[in-house]
Structure 1
């Protein structure tokens, strides 16, 4: 498997690249956005690891440029920008996952392997589609079997996150961090309540349950019904 690490901080770039090489990946690297864009377009990579704050061309613009050119290589963002709006912006730009600095290398490696294992569910730059569910990321619209479903903003973010991780078990902690930006357990049933409301809307009309509970682990949306 061949990866590219696009990161302007020399120490971080070397740390990530060397660590990935040690576990068997072929790794190229670049220190700025323009160099990274050229590398990504010509290198035929299996995944890209990109810092959001890059000189010459920022990571967000880099990913948008790649996606607009038809490049669908999985992208993992590395960043110090940890707000939920920052994460949503990055994912909507075309990234597949988001890891906040500082990070443990073991988590980085696990996320890269997860990206490489799963097929992409993105239909185009604007849409996610899983089973009979279609999510328009720009218009913020959701349809199931062609029928429009009205969702509140938090419900939309919750469904988007689950759909982007279709085929994976998503834990309660992952949802708290990535949908609500909570890095602690609020000791409420907030996640369960929102899952229940979202299910009711998605399953209206007797449709099969799209969001499944994995007892003791979390939730999953399967890629195929």
Structure 2
């Protein structure tokens, strides 16, 4: 599932966004710039929805951090500030889009989908692609060519997360939080088991070689490996 960081200090607006997208996006909501910076230093996000007027650390400072360090993250500025100077500064710092309050949820959804498509993360609604593999996120099914992979819930979540972040080195702890959940009692070593099982299943169709282990670092799905 697409992973979103929502940085909005208006609790009512934040809760409304989380509720609207609860079946479509995995949203982490924080209410100040400091917490946003901490989250960005630990996890990878596909989209950041960012207010500019934040306590502790300004939205512009958070945006500058994203621009310098989070190369595969799209940013939507969500703010009541309509001045042209603010918009130009935000775009110059790397924002992908700018939405002023008040706004319609349908418009925010359209902006999110547009950015995801432009970044190649979702080529069609609910569909992820990796070479000849297609993942239908709506029905949670995976196909390589005409063959459907038989994956349990954990392996499906692992593969979906790896494809969303294809080409990105993911730490074991990041994968664990996304596959098992932040509050899981399991040990992070379980990810090694899941990776092994997933590689074996992908190997049946010649795709195991794309799931790379970087010893002591993490894992990535790399489509640049020669066939």
Q: Is the TM value for this pair above 0.5?
A: yes
- Change in Cα spacing, 1:124 to 1:15, as seen in structure 2 (3 Å) is same
1:182 aligns with 2:227: no
Provide the aligned length of Structure 1 versus Structure 2: 166
Aligned equivalent of 2:109: 64
Q: Deviations over 1:87-127 (max 9, x none)?
A: xxxxxxxxxxxxxxxxxxxxxxxxxxxxxxxx534222221
Distance in 2 between the 1:148 and 1:64 partners? 30
What RMSD, in angstroms, separates the aligned Cα atoms of the two structures? Answer: 4.3
Q: How far off is 1:5 after superposition?
A: 6.2
Q: Which residue matches 1:31?
A: 79
Secondary structure in structure 2 of the residue aligned to 1:209: helix
TM-score (normalizing by structure 1): 0.56
Q: Unaligned 5+ residue runs, structure 2?
A: 1-47, 69-74, 81-86
Corresponding residue number in structure 2 for 1:18: 61
What is the rounded CA distance, in whole Å, between the counterparts of 1:64 and 1:174 in structure 2? 26
In structure 1, runs of 5+ residues without a counterpart are: 33-38, 75-118
What TM-score does the superposition give when structure 2 sets the normalisation length?
0.55
Residue of structure 1 in register with 2:153 after alignment: 153
Contact 1:134 1:142 in 2 (8 A): yes
The DSSP-based 3-state class of the residue aligned with 1:179 is helix
SS of the equivalent of 1:125 reads: coil
Aligned-partner Cα distance in 2 for 1:174–1:133: 23
